[in-house]
Chain A
Amino acid sequence: MPGSPLSRFAVPQDIAAAIEPVSPEAQIALLERRLARAEAARAAAEHLLEQKSRVLAAANNELTARQDSLSTSLERRTRQLLDAQRVAGFGTMLWDIKRQQLELSPQVQVMIGLEPGSSVKTYRTLVRRLLHEDRRRMLDWMHGELLARLDREHCTRYDGQPCQGSPGPCEEAMREYRIEVRCPGGDGINEGEGVRSLCVMAQFQVDSQCKPAMIFVTVQDITRQVRADNEAAALRTRELQRLEDLERLNEALLVAREQADLANDAKSRFLAMMSHDIRTPLNGVIGMLDLFDESTLTAEQRRTLALVRSSGDQLRVLLNDIIDLARAEAGKLALNPGPTNLVEVLTDGTDFWRHLAHEKSLSLDIVLAADTPTWVEADSVRLRQLIDNMLSNAIKYTSEGGVMVKTRVLPNGWLRTEVIDTGIGIPAHRRAELFIEFNQLNLLGSEPGGAGLGLAICQRIIEVMGGRIGVDDAAHGSCFWFEIPVTRIPVPKRVANPAVRSFAGSGGRAPRVLVAEDLATNRIVVEGCLRKLGCEVRVVADGQQALDAVVSGEPFDLVLMDMAMPVMDGPEATRRIRALPGAMADLPIVALTAFTRPEELEPMMAAGANDSVAKPIVIDDLYRAMSRALAIPAANGIAH
């Protein structure tokens, strides 16, 4: 043990004698002075302590006020946080691993259907609030992933090495654990209904040794998001189903279209054959009529002949209409534009209709505006077909009054032609039906007649021309009109004497024509027509005979070659003639056939025919085709 820390000192004796009190009075005086000092020190100490107490009290008050302020602020922020959690459908939980304590925010309790403030001591209480089918999954997640972390001796740092309690961020500590579960009671909007979906995310909070101390858990209400996802998935499924339906429908439509195409082809083939088979005998009938020398007939015979001829013409027109329609439907209705005398088409071309109108005591007036061009580039045949169809209808459906054809040029340069009648008129709501094939309106007061093809064909022709067609009300009937683009051209060089229609007066000898035709009737008709045109004629019955005749060296100027013939058909005979040596190979050949569709004529043209003439033979058409093939200007046509 150390000794006493006090070292006593002595003072020199003389000094001690002077200082140390000896007398009682001196000793008392010393004691009084010491006492006075002690008293003064005590008073000073008390004063100082009082001062310090005041300072401490003031400090205490200040600290209390600050604590109150901080408490209020903390309370407000806590309330804001809880409000934010409630609005966001978001809650938090904290699991203190060491103390085994679970702390829930009120929103979590609301979300799982507990009263806010309810006592929840273990996570098993929470698991029991989930849907039955989600409880096992939740427990597996907690035990398999979350709590398994607690059993590990160390965690893993970012570099993959054991962390071993080193300070700094730790992959295990940063890792988030996530699961989605459902609980009954509320869909996020209507409490107490449906199922609530929750997203639970957990993260460990570790101590300085990187050992888990807490598990921080967030719980997010994702009911709306899940519902939206489900609805989107259902929508996608429906859309896919719809798409599949559409694809199936499309396939069915493709099959149907294929079948329709096949049917259409079959119809076209049927029409072609039918028209050929009708044309051939019709050619005989009409052609024979043309061979009658009317000067030798009585008046009664002439009238009968005229009726037969008229019926034949109607039959021919109907046949042509059917063929045109078939062409239009196949997209093969083509134009053959050329210099056309518009005035002639509208005036001379309507003579026949004027004659018909007069028979019904109707007037037929042609009104051409002053700016109507005389010559235009157009398909004169189709143009005449348009006007003929309209005039035919107008006269047919008009019983009194008259018909007027008016033509003028529009500001855009197009030609507008109107056929105005004083007939029964067409109700506005039925006008569209006018242009449907084989359709007749059967209006009160009308006299049904014809095949109902005229206007439908007109519309197809107008479509090909790039124009418009329609019908409007007229003052006392209907106004049918069409507008087409036309190109004004200068007056072409014309040959004189347009009335002459014969090769006889064309300067040289009469053309010598070889006719190859298997049907006897047709042979007679063709021969008659050719003789009318001033030709010398030799007739054979098939292609082989025609070839033999040419090879024999007989000097023919032209061959009229039927297509379908026994022994050797027209195309083959044509090909062989073109293969002959010398000038024989250049012999002009004109196809003579009831096949009129371009694809039907194709074999003949490919074999080397110069031109074609359709049956039933129209003598003018024959004359023009022959003129072109012989390079002789047609007497009533245009110089080539």
Chain B
Amino acid sequence: MKGVIIAEMVRWIEQAFSPAIADAVIVRSNLPGDGVYTTVGNYPHTDALAMLGALSEISSKPVAVLADSYGFWLASRFMEIYPEMFEGYTDAVTFLRDVDGQHHREVTKLYPDARTPSIVVVIDGEELTVSYGSHRPLADVAHGLVRGYIDYFGDDLEVVRDQGSPGPHAARFLVRKPAPQSSG
């Protein structure tokens, strides 16, 4: 896993909880590198899973909720760290359509050893289906990321996770306009 994912996770824990909690999570996770992460390195994704697990124990929050929240936050971080990725895009749908074809290709050029997840986007009328697949069980992080992009572009869309999704390694998200709310 690219260092940026796990290094940003430590940063997120410090901000969403506290530096002491982040320190405790690192200690409790018994990580081989003792929580020393740099964005230019590569680390086992099990470190991230271990930290999410330790955080869940400490906070009594489900791992899925924590991962989704981290993904949502990470989308905004990508905009800060890699602003060139978002240049020319004005809506989330177009950006998501190009994730696998354009953005992951750029990642692969920079990091030939990177194993990016596969993202397949299907547009059917006004509905967008984003299918995620990865050897890493981080479908919840992906869900948060999709939400984060929609939030960034300010589109009036909702993301619904297909309940038939097979598990943490794969998921399908429906992106659509929210149903009008009844007044009564």
Q: Which residues of A contact B (CB under 8 A)?
A: 1-3, 5-12, 15-16, 19-21, 30, 33-34, 37, 40-42, 44-45, 48-49, 52
Contact = CB atoms under 8 A, between A and B. Distances in A.
A40 B36 contact: yes
A367 to B, nearest CB: 124
Contact of A9 (B36, B61, B76, B152): B61
Given A20-B18, A20-B20, A44-B41, A11 B58 contact: yes
B20 A48 contact: no
Given A2-B151, A2-B154, A34 B60 contact: no
Contact of B151 (A5, A42, A44): A5
B143 to A, nearest CB: 14
Given A11-B60, A33-B23, A37-B35, A5 B73 contact: yes
> Main secondary structure on chain B at its contact with chain A?
helix
Contact of A48 (B23, B35, B40): B40
Contact of B16 (A1, A8, A37, A52): A8
Contacts of A7: 16, 69, 72-73
Contacts of A48: 38, 40-41
Nearest to A18: B24
Nearest to B68: A7
A339 B163 CA distance: 141
A45 B23 contact: no
Given A2-B152, A5-B151, A45 B40 contact: yes
A6 B19 contact: no
Interchain residue pairs A-B with the least CB separation, the first 5: A45-B38, A5-B76, A40-B36, A2-B151, A41-B38
B19 A34 contact: yes
A20 to B, nearest CB: 5
Contacts of B59: 9-12
A6 B39 contact: no
A30 B40 CA distance: 25
A401 B37 CA distance: 149
B60 A30 contact: no
A170 B39 CA distance: 54
B148 A5 contact: yes
Contacts, number: 76
Contacts of A41: 7, 36-38
A588 B150 CA distance: 149
A522 B24 CA distance: 176
B17 A11 contact: yes
A11 B21 contact: yes
B108 interface: no
A45 B60 CA distance: 34
Interface of B: 7, 12, 15-21, 23-24, 26, 34-41, 58-61, 66, 69, 72-73, 75-76, 148, 151-152, 154
Contacts of B26: 37
Contacts of A15: 58
Nearest to B73: A5
A345 to B, nearest CB: 125
B152 A34 contact: no
A395 B21 CA distance: 164
Given A6-B15, A6-B16, A49-B40, A19 B21 contact: yes
Considering residues B16, B24, B148, which has the most beta carbons from chain A within 10 angstroms of its beta carbon?
B24
B22 to A, nearest CB: 8
Contacts of B21: 11, 16, 19-20
A567 to B, nearest CB: 136
B17 A44 contact: no
Nearest to A34: B19
Given A5-B72, A5-B76, A52-B40, A19 B20 contact: yes
Nearest to A7: B69
A37 B36 contact: yes
A12 B60 contact: yes
A33 B12 CA distance: 18
Contacts of B151: 2-3, 5
